[in-house]
Chain A
């Protein structure tokens, strides 16, 4: 007993001494941070002379667009390494780079290519990531996006969205074209082309199908089309207008807008076209439904309060609650993947701009500097918002970071671009 007591006392004494020693070190408090972006150097990859599309350019543009990276100029560097062995960290540290990306594209058997890269921590002089891809030459851009995703995730801790895809409708001469493109707007693929309008494309949660509204039969009908097989089926062809499809998070149902000869009202329908159920009951126009990520609510636009505002209604049914109160015109809602932010278009002083509302606090920020924005759509990681805007009477794609710090146009698509929607991560 006494021995134990003695040991305890001794231990307590040592702990006290240790604590005092620990207190001996002065504390420096560093609140906040002045660095807005991660400085990164991306050396052009070595590649066969015939190739002109260097992955480094795509990676740099992706990271830059996220707003979280500052791309350092590497052309002035005498030493342009492609292998870790060739890297002189001091040179890159002098450039104030925190991270360095090097890589190479090499020919592989069967006309394929081997793309390899390394992400290096310049400050700690370590390798953060390194991968090798065996690809068909046509996959070069998507591979570059994948590399950008790896870099983004390694350095920010968040999953990147560069390898995801977007969809939009483009009016080209006398045709309406439904397209799917890379997240940067490049590499557009045609899903459907029609002389009649196509509107409201919506991604299925698995990213394998699109629902959209086509006027090809002289009236708006909702179709669902597989992106893998190209096959499509009619989802809703009820009396009156069928429009504005939106998939539930689990993909089992869709919210759609039907007129049935009256005002537009919101309905729920199973993905196979069965089980139609009316959700809103108003004398006003209720449209543009979107699901909350938890599947509990439908947010939509309604002019039931005389001016168009955003409301929400429980998917089980019930009364609608108004969500936007500032301004006289708030339309086209989209919810962030975490369900905390609501983006929509606000009209103020004759300008239509992307707004972002914190649902918990009700605080609203205007994110865009343009004047004719429409259809905001969150990236799957919630960091960027894709939208269409009109420049020189032509619709173009633009993206703004959810913190409002970076805003830019995406690579020029042909035609007059409308109604973009950002696709999900494809697992």
Chain B
């Protein structure tokens, strides 16, 4: 049964697939031919040129292509030693390119070359020293920055812990103050649990009447506990607004008979 159904479909599919394949090959062939017809050679040259040339070459290329290969090897040897330093500060290698223009200028005056070279060496040394000093300064700054960051993190952690401690202290104070007013003698013989939700103003007073979330099934007990909350106003709150924000909404759980 299944085969019978499949066969006619398969034939159609095969035909369709064949057609699509043919079309696809045609398309491939046409597009390939059409594209390869014009820029074949240009493309080859570009590829070969680009590969051997170092990325630095790419920038100076537009100016003087043939003479530079000669000039470059000379100034380049000095850079290798600072390279490891340069690795730390990636930005440093960039100032090097300006060096070649300086080298080219002294050439017209061959007499003062020695003095010039001397001066140049000194300058170079000074420059390197400055560079070193700058790098050291930067390293120092970096270290200081890291230390400051660590200090800040430690302090943040400490203050978070302090805040947590303060929160707990105030929760305890709030519980203590309300407890003074809770009268367990009107809450029956069992051990009811009551839950009230309150919202506080920064003054420690209630923003709205306490909201009973779970009652004791004894109306007088619920009312007595609510009165206790109201009478305990103002509740003790810290002066720090951040801490107040965390104590603003409270869930009060009462177990008067325990």
A interface residues with partner B (beta carbon < 8 Å): 24-38, 68, 93, 96, 98, 121, 123-124, 153-158, 403
- Is the pair A32, B186 in contact by a Cβ cutoff of 8 Å? no
Interface string of B246-258 (1 = CB under 8 A from A): 1101111111111
Q: What chain B residues lie within 8 Å of A154 (beta carbons)?
A: 220
Contact of B246 among A26, A31, A36, A403 (CB under 8 A): A26
Residue B163, interface by CB 8 Å: no
**In the docked arrangement, what's the CA distance between A28 and B134, Å?**
57
A92 to chain B: closest CB distance in Å?
12
21 residue pairs of the A-B complex, CB under 8 angstroms, read A25-B251, A26-B171, A26-B249, A26-B251, A31-B258, A32-B256, A34-B181, A35-B180, A35-B181, A38-B186, A38-B224, A68-B185, A93-B231, A96-B231, A121-B223, A153-B220, A154-B220, A155-B223, A156-B220, A157-B188, A157-B218
- Is the pair A29, B186 in contact by a Cβ cutoff of 8 Å? no
Interface string of B215-247 (1 = CB under 8 A from A): 000111101101110110000000000000011
**In the docked arrangement, what's the CA distance between A29 and B256, Å?**
10
Residue B175, interface by CB 8 Å: yes
B177-191, CB < 8 A from A: 178-186, 188
Contact of B183 among A25, A33, A153 (CB under 8 A): A33
B129-143, CB < 8 A from A: none
B186 nearest CB neighbor, chain A only: A156
A97 nearest CB neighbor, chain B only: B231
B250 to chain A: closest CB distance in Å?
6
Q: What chain B residues lie within 8 Å of A157 (beta carbons)?
A: 186, 188, 218-221
- Is the pair A29, B175 in contact by a Cβ cutoff of 8 Å? yes
- Is the pair B227, A33 in contact by a Cβ cutoff of 8 Å? no
Q: What chain B residues lie within 8 Å of A37 (beta carbons)?
A: 183, 185
- Is the pair A28, B251 in contact by a Cβ cutoff of 8 Å? yes
A403 nearest CB neighbor, chain B only: B185
Query: Given contacts A33-B183, A123-B231, A157-B186, are A28 and B250 in contact (CB under 8 A)?
Result: yes
- Is the pair B230, A25 in contact by a Cβ cutoff of 8 Å? no
Q: What chain A residues lie within 8 Å of B184 (beta carbons)?
A: 32-33, 35
- Is the pair A32, B179 in contact by a Cβ cutoff of 8 Å? yes
- Counted as pairs of residues, one from A and one from B, with CB atoms less than 8 Å apart, the total is 104
B199 nearest CB neighbor, chain A only: A25
B183 to chain A: closest CB distance in Å?
4
A114 to chain B: closest CB distance in Å?
29
- Is the pair B251, A155 in contact by a Cβ cutoff of 8 Å? no
A295 to chain B: closest CB distance in Å?
22
B103 to chain A: closest CB distance in Å?
68
- Is the pair B220, A155 in contact by a Cβ cutoff of 8 Å? yes
Interface size grouping (class) on chain B: 35 or more
Interface string of B194-221 (1 = CB under 8 A from A): 0001000000000001000000001111
Residue B167, interface by CB 8 Å: yes
A380 to chain B: closest CB distance in Å?
17
Extra contacts besides A29-B175, A32-B179, A37-B183 (4): CB < 8 Å: A29-B255, A31-B255, A32-B184, A157-B221
Q: What chain A residues lie within 8 Å of B257 (beta carbons)?
A: 32
Q: What chain B residues lie within 8 Å of A121 (beta carbons)?
A: 223, 227
Query: Given contacts A38-B186, A121-B227, are A30 and B249 in contact (CB under 8 A)?
Result: no
Contact of A32 among B174, B182, B188, B250 (CB under 8 A): B182
**In the docked arrangement, what's the CA distance between A67 and B2, Å?**
92
**In the docked arrangement, what's the CA distance between A37 and B180, Å?**
11
Query: Given contacts A123-B227, A124-B227, are A33 and B182 in contact (CB under 8 A)?
Result: yes
Query: Given contacts A34-B182, A38-B186, A123-B230, are A28 and B174 in contact (CB under 8 A)?
Result: yes
B222 nearest CB neighbor, chain A only: A157
A99 nearest CB neighbor, chain B only: B227
A109 to chain B: closest CB distance in Å?
37
Q: What chain B residues lie within 8 Å of A156 (beta carbons)?
A: 185-186, 220
Q: What chain A residues lie within 8 Å of B179 (beta carbons)?
A: 30-34
- Is the pair B197, A25 in contact by a Cβ cutoff of 8 Å? yes
Query: Given contacts A26-B250, A156-B186, are A33 and B171 in contact (CB under 8 A)?
Result: no
**In the docked arrangement, what's the CA distance between A190 and B188, Å?**
37
B223 to chain A: closest CB distance in Å?
8
- Is the pair B227, A29 in contact by a Cβ cutoff of 8 Å? no
A401 nearest CB neighbor, chain B only: B185
- Is the pair B186, A30 in contact by a Cβ cutoff of 8 Å? no
- Is the pair A35, B174 in contact by a Cβ cutoff of 8 Å? no
A-B complex: 3 closest residue pairs judged by Cβ atoms: A157-B220, A33-B182, A35-B183
- Is the pair B180, A34 in contact by a Cβ cutoff of 8 Å? yes
A125 nearest CB neighbor, chain B only: B230
Query: Given contacts A26-B246, A34-B179, A124-B227, are A155 and B186 in contact (CB under 8 A)?
Result: yes
Contact of B171 among A28, A153, A403 (CB under 8 A): A28
Query: Given contacts A156-B220, A157-B220, are A33 and B253 in contact (CB under 8 A)?
Result: no
Q: What chain A residues lie within 8 Å of B249 (beta carbons)?
A: 24-26
Contact of A33 among B220, B230, B231, B256 (CB under 8 A): B256
Contact of B231 among A25, A30, A98 (CB under 8 A): A98
**In the docked arrangement, what's the CA distance between A37 and B171, Å?**
25
Q: What chain B residues lie within 8 Å of A93 (beta carbons)?
A: 231
A190 to chain B: closest CB distance in Å?
37
- Is the pair A30, B230 in contact by a Cβ cutoff of 8 Å? no
Q: What chain A residues lie within 8 Å of B258 (beta carbons)?
A: 31-32
